[in-house]
Each structure stands twice: as C-alpha cells, then as structure tokens.
Amino acid sequence: MGKRIIAICLAVLLISTGSSVSASPPQPSLTATVSPQNTYLEKEVHDIASADIQLLLNPQGEGRRNERKPADVVFVFDKSGSMTDIVNGSTKLDLAKKAVQEAANIFADNQAGRAVKDRFALVSFDASVRQEYSSTQLQSDPKVIYNKIASVPASGGTNYTQALERARKIFTDNPDSKNRTKVIIFMTDGKPTNSEKYQSINNKYSRLMTDKEFMDAYGNWRYYSKIFTGQTAYYLDQSYIISDLTDQITGSKKVLFDINGDRNNIFIEHNNRLYLHSKSTPLAPEEVRKHGREQAELLLTDNIGLISIGFGNIADTKEIDMNYLQELSLITKETAKNAVADDIVGIYKEISSNISSLYPVFSGGYVQFQLPAGAEVRNDPGIAKINSTYIKYLPDIPFNPKPPQQGDSRLSAFIPLKFLKAGVYNLHFQIVYHNGTVQLSGLQARVEVKDKLYSMSFQEKSRVIRIGEKLKLQDYLAFYPQHAVNKKLKDVTSDAPRKVKIVNEGGVWYAVGAAGGYATITAAAEEKYPAISDSMVVIVKGPDESLPPEVQPPETLPPETLPPDTGSPGGEVPPSEDGTQSYKW
C-alpha cells in the first residue's frame, strides 16, 4: 500500500551541467542483492549440509508527503462462534474489536488534512454475511466502522466465499473506486466451514425434512427408524431427516457446502427447500477451498488487494490454516499475517499506518522461490510453501522522507536451507512489493554440495607383480562415495620395503617389486581423514618367474605333490609313494 510504485529504478544517475542547476530528490526505488552468490559446502555422506542465503535490500531516493492516491478499504470481520475463545484473559472478539478501533483512529488521524478522503466499509460474517452487522456503503469516517463492530456478537460458522464476494461487490458498485487504492483487510480465526455457489444441476435428489415435519407426516416409528439408521444430515445448526421423497432438479441452483466438524455435506436449494446432494463426501473441503481461490482471482482481476490476518495458533492446524490464507493473499499480490493474542492490535495498526501513511511505504513485500530436488527449507515457520513455491514475507520499508539506512534489520532477510544430497543447486529469487507493482527478478545464488570421503578399499586384496614392475595403487582403490571430495592419499607404507617399496611420483603412488617375496602395503587417505585406510598384499615373483614358497597356494604346487584322488567317500587314504598318509572327507 502507501504510494504504488509503477516502475523499478535499478539505478539512479543524476547529471548536473553546472553548480547553479539543482535536481529534485530521486523517486523511491529499490534494489536487492543475494549473499553469498556462490557457496561451497562439504558434508558427511549420510548427513545434510546447511546454508543461509541472505537477501540485502537497498532502498534509495526520497518520498514526498501526501503523494499517495486515496484508498477504499473494506474491513471483513469474522464473527464466528470461535471468536468467543479466551486469549490472555480476553475473548478474541474483544481483542479484534480493539484492533479495529485502533486502525480507525490511525486512518482518521492520517487523512485529517487530505482534500480527497479515504473511504471505508465493513462486512461481518459467520456462516454467511450478516447484513445487520455490516456497513456496505463506502464512507469517509472510519469511526463509523468501529461503532458498527462494537455491537457484533460471536456465533456461527465461517464462510470466506460469500464474505469476500460481498466485499468485492462494494468496490464494483462504486465506479470511482478504480481511481483509488483498493484494499480488503480480511480477519478470520478459523478455517472456512461453509460456502455457497450456483451450479448447473440435472438429477434426482432426496428431499430433506425437519424433525417435526417428518414426524407429523410419517409418525414416531418411521422417524426413529431414520435416526437409528443414520438417515440424517446437518446443515448449519439444523438437523434434517433424509426422506424417501426425491425430486428431479434441473438448472442453475444454489449449492450449499457445510464442512463444519468434518460433516462434509453438500445440499441444493430448490423451491425454498433443501435437498441432499451428497453426505460425508471427502470432496467437500477442497471444493470450499476452491471457492475461496476463485474469489481471490476475481479480486486480482479488479485490482483489489487482499491482506489476510489469521487470528490463532498456527501450530493447531485444526484452528487456522495460514498457508491457505497466504495463498489467497498472494493471488492478489498481497500478504497474510498471523496474530495469536493482543498482537492483533499491532498488526491492524501497522496495516492501517501503511495504507494511510503520509509518506510512501514499500509494504506487502515478500520473496518467492522454488527449490530443486534435494534442497529444503530448514526450520523457519515464517516461510510457507504454496504448491511448489516458497514464500517469505519481508518487512515494510517506510520513506520518511528517506528510507532506512544499511544496517537496519528491515533491510535484511535470511533464508535457511538444507541440502540432502551432493550436487549443484541453482537458486532463483523474486522480490515483490506493493501489490506486485514493484518486482525484482534475476536474483540468483549457486550452492555446490559435495560429500566427504566415507570409506576407501582396495578392489583386490592381493596382486602379483614381477621384480621391477610398478603397480599404480590409485587404479586399485575404490572410494565411497564415488564423487567424494579429497580422493587423495596421504601416505602409503610397506611392511617389507626390501620386497616391495613405495614410490610417490608427483602425487601418484606406486608399489614397486624389489625382490622376490611379498609385503602388506597400507594406503591412508589424506591428512583430513586419518582414520580411512585399507591394505593389500603385493606378491613379487622371483627372477625365474616363480612365486616364493611361503605364498604359493596349494593349487599352484606341482601335480605330483598333491594327494591322489582315490574316489573314496572319506576316511583314511592309502599311503602315497613317499609314505605319507592323509585323511579325506
């Protein structure tokens, strides 16, 4: 809100042709950088790597007093039954009323000297819009809104669809709103439980009857039979009997959704009666949410910003769905805020101050980004994921007349990330302010993640070479993981250097046959990983190409020295010619 900036000044260059020429201060503008732009990380193979990406905002220029457009603001106020819940000794309803009162005072003060006033309206809702507690005519005195809210009671369900639909109609019924900043401040303390939508119908449906209506028509026995067999359905606070009467219904009809308490019932309104469309259908909740998205899309089409306030504990997913509220607001290029107690007063004051500020404010800001496979957000409840896009809200940047200077906490935001596997991650960020009229794209960061060496082993546990032959040891080593960093050897040793000596030629390690015999050689990974090592036996043939007797396997001995195979199934073997005797099993 505040002043809507239509263009983004990525650089401001003032040129003066002489000392007598003065230039007016540059218009408010914004640039941003990402730090660090290149990050290199190493991690253990079964661990994760972490990095914080910092966004640095750089506002420039100066704002002029009273240069914003007048605003039309509609307060959409949830008066559902859960607003009677107690928070810090007060009901949510009382805290919300106080918050609206503070907002009304700020609006009144900030427009005191304006020739063209801001205008305000109110839509109160529970399971439907409550006209008796609404003020749907735009008027310049914001305190009229508070006076109307002061008498609002709390009861009923929560219908986002009709509340937003009615708020949008207030703007579209006033043609001069197109020359104004249009904003809805939507406060709710719960998930949507009810919705209505006209749909094309062509089928037979069961007629619903009240308890009294059914008993009068069919008697107690039929009534209790329906009760015991579950032939009932709830809509709002009323229980209905599903009768055996069906009617053909054709045409565009109002379809009513009630998902309060996981009822998930859908009804049709026809000839002033209710008919059962479907009962306990898992499709109902998503249909209700879809209706809210459709309303947000219509708001976007009419250039109406939706600022949402979710009043409740976001940890209790049955109470409030901040992700859904953020999704609705982001469709209109606006933001959603969470209040848990009396902080709702401060949130309303902040929003009203930004809308009616005497100086420009970059408000409603957020950064959005997507993450490639293997990258995730690390422990930040302030970052929401909507479909495949992550959203983090950014602080407002006021110009009074100059903006905050570097070092101010409002000009910095951190995005904590974790990386589950090795690879190169190219990250792209977009910053949005002012209902989408200020957008900074092309912000990039590159993160390279590599696994540390976990293990190393010789692929062959023994190898035969000749005297003078060089064995390149790296060719026989396997590293895990294959793409590990630092696949280098710190040292290679031989326990019999007179038989097998070790040579290092330019970082390449060789085992060299020095004399007939064998040696156990041990390779150790570079100094960073002293515990990673493995061994192999290198056997050196003698000058006559024979193996040393002490390492000759039995199958390499001359055939005449092997015991003859008598075919005996086992036991004692007859003595050989040299008089020796053995046993065969």
CATH code of residue 378: 2.60.40.10
In a shared domain, residues 250 and 210: yes
Kindly report which listed range (61-70, 158-167, 544-553) carries the lowest average pLDDT score: 544-553
In a shared domain, residues 200 and 276: yes
Structure tokens at 438: 């200020």
Closest CA to 28 of 576, 478, 402: 402
Residue 383 domain-assigned?
yes
Residue 577 domain-assigned?
no
Looking at residue 585, its pLDDT comes to 27
In a shared domain, residues 439 and 462: no
d(CA 470, CA 538): 11
Residue that has been written with the tokens 């306990």 in this structure: 280
In a shared domain, residues 468 and 411: no
Cα atoms in the Cβ-side hemisphere of radius 13 Å centred on 554: 2
Looking at residue 4, its pLDDT comes to 37
pLDDT in tens, 233-266: 999 989 999 999 999 999 999 999 999 988 999 9
pLDDT in tens, 166-190: 999 999 999 888 889 999 999 999 9
Q: Per-residue pLDDT for 498 more than 50?
A: yes
Residues 6+ apart with CB under 8 A from 12: 26, 29, 60, 61
Number of helices (H), then strands (E), belonging to the chain: the values are 7, 36
In a shared domain, residues 262 and 275: yes
Residue 412 domain-assigned?
yes
Q: Name the residue with higher pLDDT: 68 or 55.
A: 55
pLDDT in tens, 257-290: 999 988 999 999 999 999 999 999 999 999 999 9
Cα atoms in the Cβ-side hemisphere of radius 13 Å centred on 441: 3
Residue that has been written with the tokens 């859960």 in this structure: 82
In a shared domain, residues 476 and 532: yes
In a shared domain, residues 463 and 544: yes
Question: What rounded mean pLDDT belongs to the chain?
Answer: 88
In a shared domain, residues 476 and 440: no
What is the percentage of the chain residues whose pLDDT exceeds 90? Answer: 75
CATH number of the domain that residue 505 is part of: 2.60.40.1080
Tell me which of 252, 286, 320 is where a domain ends: 286
Looking at residue 515, its pLDDT comes to 94
pLDDT in tens, 92-116: 999 999 999 999 999 999 988 888 9
How many structural domains is the chain composed of? 3
Residues 419-430 have a mean pLDDT of 96
**pLDDT band for position 531 (50/70/90)?**
confident
In a shared domain, residues 430 and 476: no
In a shared domain, residues 437 and 493: no
In a shared domain, residues 510 and 428: no
Tell me which of 254, 270, 286 is where a domain ends: 286
pTM assigned to the model: 0.76
In a shared domain, residues 213 and 278: yes
Residue 139 domain-assigned?
no
H or E segment and range at residue 356: helix 343-356
Q: Per-residue pLDDT for 544 more than 80?
A: no
Residue 350 domain-assigned?
no
Q: Per-residue pLDDT for 203 more than 90?
A: yes
Tell me which of 237, 258, 286 is where a domain ends: 286
Residue 293 domain-assigned?
no
Residue 180 domain-assigned?
no
Residue 91 domain-assigned?
no
Domain of residue 482, residue span: 455-552
Looking at residue 546, its pLDDT comes to 67
Q: Per-residue pLDDT for 578 more than 90?
A: no
Closest CA to 438 of 67, 57, 64: 57
**188 phi, psi to nearest 5 deg:** -145, 150
**pLDDT band for position 580 (50/70/90)?**
very low
**pLDDT band for position 380 (50/70/90)?**
confident
